[in-house]
Chains A and B, each alone.
Chain A
C-alpha cells in the first residue's frame, strides 16, 4: 500500500508498504531517515521515539497506515539542516553519548519533556526517561545533559552556545 504523511515538515510518500509494517520501518528503510533506531521492536527500549502529531511514541509500535496523513517529527527534524537542537548540544557537552544507539530516542524524549516541563526535577527526568534504555552510560551523564539543556534553555541568548560553550558561528 501507499502511505503519505508529513515527516519533519515535508510531505513524504512511501510505496509498496506492507500492511503490517511499522512506522519505524517506513522511516528507516523507505524514507532514508535512519536516525530513529531499531533495537527491541517491542516498545521496551525507546530508541525509536518520534513525535506523532506532537506526541512522543515508539515508532515501532505505530502501524504504517496509522501514520497516514499524520504529522511525524523525527530526531532529524528537531533542528534545521546543519544545526543542532539545544538538547543535542547538551548531550555533546555533557558527554552523554557513548555507543550512541539510544541517543536519538533519548534526545526526542528529552525534547518532549522540556517542552512540557521546562525545569524538571530529577525525579521528573527519571520518570520521563523511564522508557529509554541506555546500556553504556549508567544514565548519570544523561541526567547531566538534561539538567544542562534545561538550564541553557532558561538563560537568555544561551541557546546559541555551541557544544564547547562558545557561540555558534
Chain B
C-alpha cells in the first residue's frame, strides 16, 4: 500500500486519475474502520487533509460553497446560523470526537442510505461539486446517489465541495435511533420551508436504497400551507404530509428496525418537523 499526501488539489486529482485503486481519506471515520477490520486493502491511501482549500467555506454570490473537508464540528459552529437543518443533522453525527474529524465530503463519498448529512442537503436543494483532471461538474444532490453506498462519482473524480443556498426559512431535522449519540439512523427526516417561493423541501434518510426526497409530500404541503394568513397548521394537513412522506420511502427490515416501523416513524417525524417549522415561521 502507498500512502500519498498531495499538497494541492491539482496533485490529488492527478493521483486519482493515475491510480484508480486510490481510496481518498479525510477524517478517516469510515475508511479507517474498514482498514482496522481488514475489510479493505486499497493500493493507495490518498490523504486529503493537507489540501487547505478543502477545509474552507465561502459565500459565493447567493450560495455557500462548503469544502468537502470541513468537519461537522465546524459546520455546527460556523454555519449553524445559515444552515440550521444541516447543523441539526451534524449534531446527531457520532460523538464529539467523530464530529471533530468527520466531513461532509466523506459522508457523500460513503453514500450510505443512512448518512446524516444527506437529508438536509436534499431538503435544501444542494449541489455536489465533483472534480477530476477532466474538469469540474455540479450534480444536484438528489441525482448524486445511485444505490446503497453508490453514487455518480466517477473513478477518477473527487468530491470538492457542496453548494447550498443559506436557509430562507425554518429548517428541521429529526432522527430515530437507540440513543442520542453514536447511532446510525433507523430513519431520519429533514424539512426546509421556503416561504419566499412558497415551496417545501424534504429529505428522507435510512428508509430507501438511497437518501431521497418525498416529492409528492413537498407539493402537497406547498399547496396546502396557509402562506398568506400564516394561520395555525391544520392537524389534518400535517397528518397527510406525514402519510405522503411515509409513502415515498421504500424501507427494508434490518438489524436496526423493520420496514413497517421505519415507515411509521417517518410519518411521525414528518408530521412533527412540519409542525415545528410552521410554528417557527409564524413566530
B80 within 8 A of A: no
Known: A22-B36, A42-B33, A43-B33. A63 touches B100 (CB 8 A): no
B176 within 8 A of A: no
CB–CB B182/A19 < 8 A: no
Known: A20-B45, A43-B29, A65-B3. A56 touches B37 (CB 8 A): no
B101 within 8 A of A: yes
CB–CB B28/A63 < 8 A: yes
Q: How far is the CA of A44 from the CA of B32 in the complex (A)?
A: 12
State the interface size on chain A (CB cutoff 8 A): 30
Nearest CB of chain B from residue A126's CB, rounded to whole Å: 9
| Chain B minimum-CB-distance residue to A133 | B182
CB–CB A131/B28 < 8 A: no
A136 within 8 A of B: no
CB–CB A58/B45 < 8 A: no
CB–CB B28/A66 < 8 A: yes
Q: Which chain A residues border B47 with CB–CB below 8 Å? A: 63, 65-66
| Per-residue A-contact encoding for B88-100, CB less than 8 Å = 1, 0 else | 0000001111101
Q: Which chain B residues border A1 with CB–CB below 8 Å? A: 3
| Chain A minimum-CB-distance residue to B31 | A63
Q: What is the size category of the interface that chain B forms with chain A? A: 20 to 34
Contact of B28 among A19, A55, A61 (CB under 8 A): A61
Q: How far is the CA of A124 from the CA of B47 in the complex (A)?
A: 33
Q: Which chain B residues border A68 with CB–CB below 8 Å? A: 5
| New A-B contacts (6) at CB < 8 Å, excluding given A58-B101, A61-B33, A66-B47 | A19-B3, A20-B35, A49-B97, A58-B97, A130-B181, A132-B95
Contact of A131 among B25, B27, B97 (CB under 8 A): B97
Q: How far is the CA of A58 from the CA of B29 in the complex (A)?
A: 9
Known: A20-B35, A61-B27, A61-B33. A43 touches B97 (CB 8 A): yes
| Per-residue B-contact encoding for A68-90, CB less than 8 Å = 1, 0 else | 10000000000000000000000
